[in-house]
């Protein structure tokens, strides 16, 4: 993809693999929209982006707040006439073993809210801009760690663990990706998800007490492969592990489960359920 005239939004890009993806895109002359909560880190990244030959802007938002996600989408739509790539990378890890259940500002289980619901809402709000800019791409940064969703207790009020919450939120991202790809078929907007790399050397991984085994560049390579590489143009509705397509948790291919997740998600984020369910698996 020729990037000099492209505008790309990367959530969770002031640190970790999101930051590396922003740096790499800046070298190609893209307009890189970065998101996070730390303004000081963001300003440092913007300086790097400009020094590397790109341009950019910072949009702060706390993804534990539905209203801040809405404000982020409004700001992007206000400031930019196009959006060529949306990379939903923001997220939080499993937490330290034995940590207590946490909730978002809206009262939802925190990992489900930050890792999945906020990206779901942001994507749906930005779809008109992406469709206007087609061909466009959506990349959801998920994980090989996936847990089937218990629709009877989607907020994990019983039997909570940080690992279970994280893995459920990551499967939800993949289910959303498959569902969205079918909805957008023929629109010129592709949607894919991936596990970028295992335990990258990031602050999130170290905070969870895990020894890194992959580099940030490995993860960035995989994300960029889906976001801007020519060889993945036209691909949609896929889950990748690194640079290769893989099978996700079986629930991701259950059309009824995806429809149920979509209906619940639309209600939780306050959007109308105007998208009919699909009739076949991804």
Catalytic residue numbers read: 166
Distance CA 130, CA 9 (A): 11
Residue 254: CB partners within 8 Å, gap ≥ 6?
A: 281
* 54 within 8 A of 28, measured Cβ to Cβ: yes
- Integer Cα distance of 101 and 156 in angstroms: 8
* Pair type for strands 189-195 and 136-141: parallel
Quote the Cα angle for 116-118-123, to 5°. Answer: 95
Nearest C-alpha neighbor of 204 from the set 194, 191, 219, 221: 219
């Amino acid at each position: 993809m020729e990037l000099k005239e492209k505008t790309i939004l990367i959530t969770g890009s002031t640190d970790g693999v999101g930051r590396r993806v922003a740096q790499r895109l800046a070298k190609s002359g893209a307009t890189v929209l970065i998101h996070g909560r730390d303004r000081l880190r963001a300003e440092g990244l913007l300086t790097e982006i400009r020094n590397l030959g790109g341009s950019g802007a910072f949009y702060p938002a706390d993804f534990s707040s539905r209203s801040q996600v809405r404000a982020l989408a409004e700001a992007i739509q206000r400031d930019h006439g196009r959006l060529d790539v949306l990379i939903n990378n923001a997220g939080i890890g499993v937490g330290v073993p034995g940590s207590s259940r946490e909730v978002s500002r809206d009262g939802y289980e925190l990992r489900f809210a930050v890792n999945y619901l906020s990206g779901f809402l942001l994507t749906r709000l930005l779809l008109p801009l992406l469709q206007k800019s087609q061909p466009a791409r959506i990349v959801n940064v998920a994980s090989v760690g996936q847990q089937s969703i218990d629709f009877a207790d989607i907020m994990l009020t019983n039997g909570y663990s940080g690992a279970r919450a994280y893995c459920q939120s990551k499967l939800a991202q993949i289910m959303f990706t498959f569902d969205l790809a079918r909805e957008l078929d023929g629109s010129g907007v592709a949607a894919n998800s991936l596990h970028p790399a295992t335990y990258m050397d990031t602050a999130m991984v170290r905070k969870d007490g895990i020894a890194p085994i992959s580099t940030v560049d490995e993860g960035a390579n995989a994300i960029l492969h889906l976001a801007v590489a020519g060889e993945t143009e036209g691909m949609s509705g896929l889950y990748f592990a690194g640079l290769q397509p893989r099978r996700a948790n079986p629930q991701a291919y259950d059309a009824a489960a995806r429809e149920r997740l979509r209906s619940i998600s639309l209600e939780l984020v306050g959007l109308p359920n105007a998208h009919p369910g699909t009739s076949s698996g991804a």
